[in-house]
Structure 1
Amino acid sequence: MFTTADRERLRDTLIATAEHDGEVVGAALVGSAATGREDAWSDIDLMLQIDGDPDTVAERWTAAFYADHGAVHHLDVIADGVLYRVFLLESSLQVDVSFWPRDRFRATEPGFKLLFGTPNPPTAPNAPDVTHLIGMGWLYALHARSAIARDRHWQAAMMLDHLRDTVLALACVRLGRNHHHGREADLLPPEVLDALAAARAAALDREELARSNTALLECFAAEVAAYDPALAQRLKPALGKLRI
């Protein structure tokens, strides 16, 4: 397990590397380090502004992570055309480095601590697509019903977990909490969390999965009704048929 001192030393090293990299013309910290919310479990989130080919710089930095910083694997996430490379270090520390074209480097969330360079005008984060979340919710519920009916208990448990996560996301959006990766799900009110806790399946038998399915459908219907009562009424007959 890494220590906070380990994290700070590596962050300082990465910032110094960025400052001396001729193709890196700007850098910023985002996430908990930029908002004063770091704790012992926080990772490193570093944005780099690239004057040149971001992919070339990413490959060079990646080689250094494996050779010098104890990387054991990495994951790529592409968002709005920007490469976010997520490294897992042997110490279990996560390091996220994003490689931004020079003309796109900017704040996209409130937590943005500029280290050097000239950012472009900030943009607001995209609003969550509630309609999409609702669609995914009833889709997971459909597959949960069929999995229970077919005695595919592990598939059913997975679909019910996805449905629960969707309800959590909907509640976060409704109450102005950050739903991304459940970051503020623990801040939801007890009436939401208690109902979802009670809805969790305690075993992988058909009866318990069916009970969980019914309870989660009620939670889901309540969130839909809070967002769009007319849509909730249209969905009500179909959702009623998803109980098993």
Structure 2
Amino acid sequence: MFDVALRDEVEGYLIGLAELDERITAAAVVGSRAHTEGDRWSDTDLTFAVADATEPVAILDEWAAKLRAEFDGTTLFDLTAGPITYRVFLLPGALQVDLSVTPTSQFAARGDTFRLLFGAANDPVVASPRNSTDTYGHAVHHAVRARVCIERGRAIQAEYWISSLRNETLALASRRAGVQDWHARGAHLLPTETRERFADALVRSLDPAELSRALKIAIGLLLDQSDQAPALAARVRNHLRGISEPEAPPPAFEP
């Protein structure tokens, strides 16, 4: 893994580029290191305001070339969310660098993890809360697909859907507990008993009986979150209970 000195060097290099670029009107640190020192595994996460007349991707392309030349950096992917364009890089030592650019007229904090480095930001933008009914609905879908895959003898696909069901349910449990629900970021803050129950829903092998066991526990965890989507949960409760158990012992199969 990378060392902290490399991370600091890369971060300083990028901030220096931004300070010298007249197209960049502001910069901020976002993510875990916005208000804390993070830890030795924390990545670099910077966001920049770009003059409205500038094409944001052009700047990312220029910086990608510089990161490649200076640090052997590799572009992994781009992501667009509203006015923001994100680009994720991987550097030696598995150092992840996340850069995002936003037109100056829309540059603003979009969460608590935002520390302005230079320039100015607009008033913070409060994101709409995630829709728990949609999350619950996705989880129900995944539960159905998991049961179908078990019955069809498709072990790896069944494991995929059980894991997807568990992850959606973990988001609901995190939301209820008031911790971050994206990508299990707040899972370590959940009560010990809750974490243990989610751990019990992990698939331990591709044996049909084990897949059914994990699915049943994952469905039980979802039913425990019914108060977050009461109308939908009431309509699908019996369906979920029905697919918790196989219709008949499935045949043995190869993964």
Deviations 1:217-243 (A, max 9, x none): 11111112x324443322111112222
Between the aligned partners of 1:154 and 1:22, the Cα distance in structure 2 is 52
* Cross-structure match for 1:18: 18
Structure 1 residue 189 displacement after superposition: 1.0
Between the aligned partners of 1:119 and 1:197, the Cα distance in structure 2 is 42
SS at 1:119 equivalent: coil
**Contact kept? 1:26, 1:116, Cα under 8 Å:** yes
1:38 matched to 2:38: yes
Structure 1 residue 203 displacement after superposition: 1.2
* Cross-structure match for 1:157: 159
Between the aligned partners of 1:111 and 1:37, the Cα distance in structure 2 is 12
* Cross-structure match for 1:58: 60
SS at 1:121 equivalent: coil
Structure 1 residue 37 displacement after superposition: 4.5
* Cross-structure match for 1:236: 237
Question: Which AA in structure 1 matches 2:183?
Answer: H
Between the aligned partners of 1:232 and 1:14, the Cα distance in structure 2 is 48
* Cross-structure match for 1:79: 81
Between the aligned partners of 2:27 and 2:137, the Cα distance in structure 1 is 38
CA RMSD of aligned residues (A): 1.3
Q: 1:228 to 1:73 in 2, by over 3 A?
A: closer
Worse-matched range after superposition: 70-79 or 12-21: 70-79
Between the aligned partners of 1:125 and 1:11, the Cα distance in structure 2 is 27
Structure 1 residue 117 displacement after superposition: 1.0
> Which TM-score applies when normalising by structure 1?
0.95
Between the aligned partners of 1:82 and 1:136, the Cα distance in structure 2 is 26
SS at 1:15 equivalent: helix
Structure 1 residue 10 displacement after superposition: 1.3
What are the residue-to-residue correspondences of 1:48-197 with 2, within 5 Å? 48-51=48-51, 52-197=54-199
Between the aligned partners of 2:231 and 2:130, the Cα distance in structure 1 is 20
**Contact kept? 2:133, 2:232, Cα under 8 Å:** no
Between the aligned partners of 1:69 and 1:20, the Cα distance in structure 2 is 19
SS at 1:241 equivalent: helix
Question: Which AA in structure 2 matches 1:20?
Answer: L
Aligned residues: 243
Question: Which AA in structure 2 matches 1:11?
Answer: E
SS at 1:177 equivalent: coil
**Contact kept? 2:136, 2:229, Cα under 8 Å:** no
Question: Which AA in structure 2 matches 1:154?
Answer: I
Deviations 1:178-216 (A, max 9, x none): 011111111111222121222222210111101111111
> Which TM-score applies when normalising by structure 2?
0.91
What are the residue-to-residue correspondences of 1:200-215 with 2, within 5 Å? 200-215=202-217
For structure 2, the residue ranges without an aligned partner over 5 or more in a row are 247-255
Deviations 1:62-97 (A, max 9, x none): 111212222133211111131100101122100000
**Contact kept? 2:83, 2:106, Cα under 8 Å:** no
Q: 1:72 to 1:228 in 2, by over 3 A?
A: closer
Identity %: 35
Between the aligned partners of 1:82 and 1:161, the Cα distance in structure 2 is 30
